[in-house]
Amino acid sequence: MTHQEKLLEIYKNSFKIEDVTLPKAIIQLLSRIGASIESQKGVYTVLLTLGIHKVLNPNQDIRYFQVTLPNGFSGRSVDTKYITPTLKQLGLPSMSESGWLTRSLEQPYPYTKDYNGKISKLKTEFLVIVDYIQHNPDKVTDVCRVLLNYAIDIRTKNTIQVEKIENPENITIDIIISALTEFFDKNYQIGGGSKLPVLAFYAIYSILVNELKRYEGCKVGDLGSHTSSDRTSKASGDIEVFKDSQLLEALEIKFGIEIDNHIINRVLPKIYKSNPKRYYILTTLGVKQSDLDEIKNKVSKLKEEHGCQLILNGLLPTLKYYLRLINNLEDFVQLFTQLVYEDKELKIVHKEKWTEIIKKSFS
């Protein structure tokens, strides 16, 4: 049996866990991890990987999760090939690629109780559970079931139906911009918020390619993970627009970040590699004034040598302009809402906040 098959088997038995028999102390530790899955996906994913591997290989000391450790195995390979893809397939919380992308979890020390890695949160809970898994192989399935039950609960809470707006005639551009400003600017105290404006531009471009002559015959590229690094992501920007399989435009969305020389220097190689006709960098904070002259020179040089227009602009002003170009504002609100509700990287708090804003702004 593969790791994927074992995970799926355990998952099917995780919707109800009344029959689980674990020590009260372990249940309490698992509850703390379960309550933090959305913000600590690395801990949860690594625990599931170690648990599934222990079930299939009861003689393996799963604390030795790297092949460079004595009698170790590659936990990251197991996760990348079997665990994370399966979690994604099931619509459960997951990392973009592997739980071991969390640096504090990939330090080359065994997961003993004196582990030297600086896990910022849930370190004690994590290490105690790993120790319990290692020394109680007959209880590992129950541990995995409890973790998966918490994940299933999160998936359920994250599933929100898009409802028709009661009074679409009341929707105006100003109301939309005001609603989005409140949505973007809230301090959620949890990751994921920087993806919200990306979803807004994905929604508006999905409409523009069907309505504007400039984008006739174009399509918007698939929306990628916002947690992938530039090194692992093959996309040239957060949003890509293609015509006849050639990149026409790309957008880089910067929330709460000034455009400076560093950002320009990272974008230029993407432009030379992918050859768009236009490349937008949109931000909420503008251009860093001390870098302005040098940035202008680089933009002019790019236009002269390559032909690409590198356009730097405000995020909300650009969105407001695009909203003027579409035929039906309700289409944008409905599509954006659907993207927010269905996104697997956003948290429950984001979706609940947008539901609150919809009721307040568009009723």
- In terms of Cα–Cα distance, which of 55, 223, 25 is closest to 148? 55
337: CATH: 3.40.1350
| Same-domain status, 150 and 227 | no
Q: State the Cα–Cα distance between residues 339 and 159, nearest whole angstrom.
A: 12
| Same-domain status, 96 and 227 | no
Last residue of a domain, one of 158, 179, 214: 158
* 163 in any annotated domain: no
Number of domains in the chain: 2
Instruction: Give the domain extent around 72.
Output: 3-158
Token digits of residue 315: 């995020």
Last residue of a domain, one of 158, 176, 196: 158
* 232 in any annotated domain: yes
For residue 37, the one-letter residue type is: I
Q: State the Cα–Cα distance between residues 294 and 225, nearest whole angstrom.
A: 31
Last residue of a domain, one of 103, 134, 158: 158
Residues 6+ apart with CB under 8 A from 258: 283, 285, 286, 287, 288
Token digits of residue 133: 């898994």
What is the full per-residue pLDDT of the chain (363 aa) written as tens digits? 899 999 999 999 999 999 999 999 999 999 999 999 988 999 999 999 999 999 999 999 999 999 999 999 999 999 999 999 999 989 899 988 899 888 889 899 999 999 988 888 899 999 999 999 999 999 999 999 999 999 999 988 877 776 777 777 789 999 999 999 999 998 888 778 889 999 999 999 999 999 999 999 999 998 876 454 444 456 789 999 999 889 999 999 998 899 999 999 999 999 999 999 999 999 988 899 999 999 999 999 999 999 999 999 999 999 999 999 999 999 999 999 999 988 888 888 899 999 999 888 887
Contact call for residues 333 and 171 (beta carbons, < 8 A):
yes
60: Cα separation from own chain's centroid? 32
